[in-house]
Amino acid sequence: MRIVLLGTTVACVIGFRGELIKDLVARGHEVYAFALDYNQESSSRVAKLGAVPVNYAFSRAGLNPIGDFLNTLRLKRQLKRLGPDVVLTYFAKPVIFGTIAARLAGIRRVVGMLEGLGYVFTDDPAGESLKDRLLRHVQVSLYRLSLPLLERLIFLNRDDPKDLVERHGLRVKESTVLGGIGLDLDRFNYSVPEINPVTFLFVGRLLKEKGINEYVEAARLTKERFPETRFLVLGGLDEENPGGLSKKELMLLVERNVVEYPGYVEDVPEWIRQASVFVLPSYREGLPRSTQEAMAMGRAVITTDVPGCRETVENHDNGILVPAGDVQSLADAMAHFIENPDLVVSMGREGRRIAEERYDVRYVNSSLIAFLEGPQSVGALKNSV
C-alpha cells in the first residue's frame, strides 16, 4: 500500500511517527511523510526511517480563510499526483483541511487522529474570552464539514470525543480511543529516582495553558518550607504567545534560585533521570507524551484532574491529581512527596508498570497499522484482543 502521513512539523514526524514509519515499511508499505518545515538535514533523517519526505504549505495555527482555501487546493493537487491508498491526518488543521484535500483528490480512505482538542476547547480557570468562544465556533463548524469524510477518527483520551463529537452533535462514521501514541520503553527505561534532594521536573512549552505559572508559584511556596528542593524546567519560550512566560521573567526566577533552566536540551531522558517527581499542571491535553515518558522511567507524577492528564494517573497509586489552576494544592502535593520520599519510589515503580501495560509503542502501532491497512486488519486485531 501507498500510505501518506500528513501532519505539521518535522519534529513530530521524527519524534512521534518514527517507529510507526519503520513498522509500516517493514510490512512492505510505501510511506510518504508530509510536513511543513523540511530542510536537507531533516529530510535525510526521515528518509533513513524509510519514508519519503514531502514538503507542503500551510500555516500551523490561526485561521486565514483565503490562505487556507488556496493551500487546501495545492495540497489536493499534491495528493492527486501521488495517488495514495490511504491518508492518516493528525493534529487539528491537517484533520480538517488535509481530510478535505484528500477527498477532493479522490482518495477514498482517510483516517484522522486528534491528539488533543487544543486551547480553544480548554477550560481556563480565569474564564473564557469572547475570542476563544468565536474560534471554537469556527473550528466546530470546520469539523462538522470534515469529520464525516473520515473512515475513522482516533482520539487519545475518553473526554475528547464527548467534548467534541457528542456535545456538538458531529457526525463521525467510526471513532476509537487509542490511549497514547506509544513509547520506546527501551529508550525510556526504568531507573531508581534520586530523592536527596527531592527534585521536581516540568517539561513542556512555557505557556499559561501548560501550567507553567502554577508550577513556578508552587515552587516559590515550596522553597520557603524546603529550601534544598530543586525545580527543573525544560521547554521552549514562546514570547509571541500572550500566555507565554517571558525570557526576562524566566531569568529572574533562575537568578532567585526558584527554578533551574538549562535551555534547549536534546537528551530529555537524561533530565528525567535526574528528577524525582514529574509535574504537569496543564489545563488540558490529548494524552501528554512527556508524562508517559516520565512514568516509563519510574517517576511519580503530579498532574491536573483535566482531560488527557487524568488518564495518566491513578490517584495516589502512581501520582497525585490536583485541580487545574490551584497553586496551593500543587504545592501541597509537592510537600507530600518531600515529606514521604518512600512514595517517590513506590509510585514511580507503579508508573513504570502502567507504562508497560498501556504505552508500549509495539502495541499502539499494531492498532494504528490495522486502522490504516483496513477492515480486514481491524477484524484480526479485534480477534486477537
pLDDT tens-digit profile, the chain (385 residues)? 999 999 999 999 998 999 999 999 999 999 999 999 999 999 999 999 999 999 999 876 667 889 999 999 999 999 999 999 999 999 999 999 999 999 999 999 999 999 999 888 888 777 778 888 898 999 999 999 999 999 999 999 999 999 999 999 999 999 999 998 899 999 999 999 999 999 999 999 899 999 999 999 999 999 999 999 999 999 988 766 667 788 999 999 999 999 999 987 888 999 999 999 999 999 999 999 999 999 999 999 999 999 999 999 999 999 999 999 999 999 999 999 999 999 999 999 999 999 999 999 999 999 999 999 987 666 555 545 4
β-strand 300-304 against 86-90: which pairing, if any? unpaired
Integer distance in angstroms from the first to the last C-alpha of the chain? 25
What are the cell numbers at 91? 493534529
Angle of helix 327-339 relative to helix 212-225, nearest 10 degrees? 50
Counting Cβ atoms within 10 Å, is residue 177 exposed (0-12), middle (13-18) or buried (19+)?
middle
Counting Cβ atoms within 10 Å, is residue 228 exposed (0-12), middle (13-18) or buried (19+)?
exposed
Strand ranges inside 147-283, DSSP E: 152-155, 175-177, 199-203, 230-234, 277-280
Q: What angle do CA 130, 135, 139 make, to 5 degrees?
A: 150
Whether the CB-CB separation of 360 and 15 falls below 8 Å is answered with: no
What are the cell numbers at 128? 473564557
Residue 310 to residue 312: CA distance in whole angstroms? 5
What count of residues does the chain have?
385
Q: What is the set of domains in the chain, with CATH numbers?
A: 2-182+360-384 (3.40.50.2000), 199-358 (3.40.50.2000)
What are the cell numbers at 264? 534547549
What are the cell numbers at 199? 527534585
Query: pTM for the whole thing?
Result: 0.89
